[in-house]
Chains A and B, each alone.
Chain A
Amino acid sequence: MWVYEKKLQYPVKVTSCNPTLAKYLIEQYGGADGELAAALRYLNQRYTIPDKVIGLLTDIGTEEFAHLEMIATMIYKLTKDATPEQLKAAGIADHYVNHDSALFYHNAAGVPFTASYIAAKGDPIADLYEDIAAEEKARATYQWIINMSDDPDLNDSLRFLREREIIHSQRFREAVEILKEERDRKIYF
């Protein structure tokens, strides 16, 4: 069960009317390494992982939904007042004819979200390594979006999200160490 706090994890402010940025951000919304895929992956893996790290997957999976909500807010703000002409110029005319300015779970290339993004092997080490890779990929995606964006306020929120990916990767790495059960026994292998 979840408790919902009716506020964003970090403020989202968008200065410039730039629907092109929405096109990039949709990658983190419904893409393979996006926040939805991350949330569903972690929350689903919880059932088949040793008890010691279930709580970590719950916490991080939940936080990913908070990130998803931030991304949704960014995309909404960037597109809500855009005219069809502006959306066309931004290269999201295809999105417009299907969805108007409604959000939809697809990636930057318009490929709809699919459950095959959600890896679950059932092997704790394989799954945690997958999670570490997913966090590093999401971190890289944020970097590429920051590189393409010239909106300082939006970049501020994106930097927060990138920092969280670093922390999540760190905690997954620690989870692997816990499962290896060699911590504090030997320093060198």
Chain B
Amino acid sequence: MRPSNQKSYVPYHSPYDPCPPIGKKYYSTPPNLYMGFQPYNLPQYSPKEALQKGTLWPAFYDYYENPYERRR
């Protein structure tokens, strides 16, 4: 199974902290962290799609959006 590309944790919030708690803090764990040396014969995007996405390899594609926006 492919690992998730985003992880989160909840920082401790003290009753004396001035700002309201942010809740979850997110961080990226993109696919390159898990691949090791790239194996041969992985599936490829079409050239046009690869130019648009920034990679030839679906295994390395990691779409990013603001995780704090989604939460609201």
State the A residues within 8 Å of B (CB).
Answer: 10, 139-140, 142-143, 146-147, 159-164, 166-167, 169-170, 173-174, 177, 183
Contacts and interface: CB of A to CB of B under 8 A. Distances in A.
A173 B54 contact: no
A97 B55 CA distance: 41
7 contacts: A139-B30, A143-B28, A146-B64, A146-B65, A167-B60, A170-B32, A170-B35
Contacts of B65: 146
Contacts of B66: 146-147
Given A163-B55, A164-B54, A167-B60, A183 B37 contact: yes
Size class of the B contact interface (CB-based, 8 Å): 20 to 34
B32 A162 contact: no
A158 to B, nearest CB: 9
Contact of B38 (A146, A163, A174): A174
A173 B55 CA distance: 17
Contacts of B60: 163, 166-167, 170
Given A162-B54, A163-B54, 8 more contacts: A159-B54, A160-B52, A160-B54, A162-B64, A163-B62, A164-B55, A166-B55, A177-B36
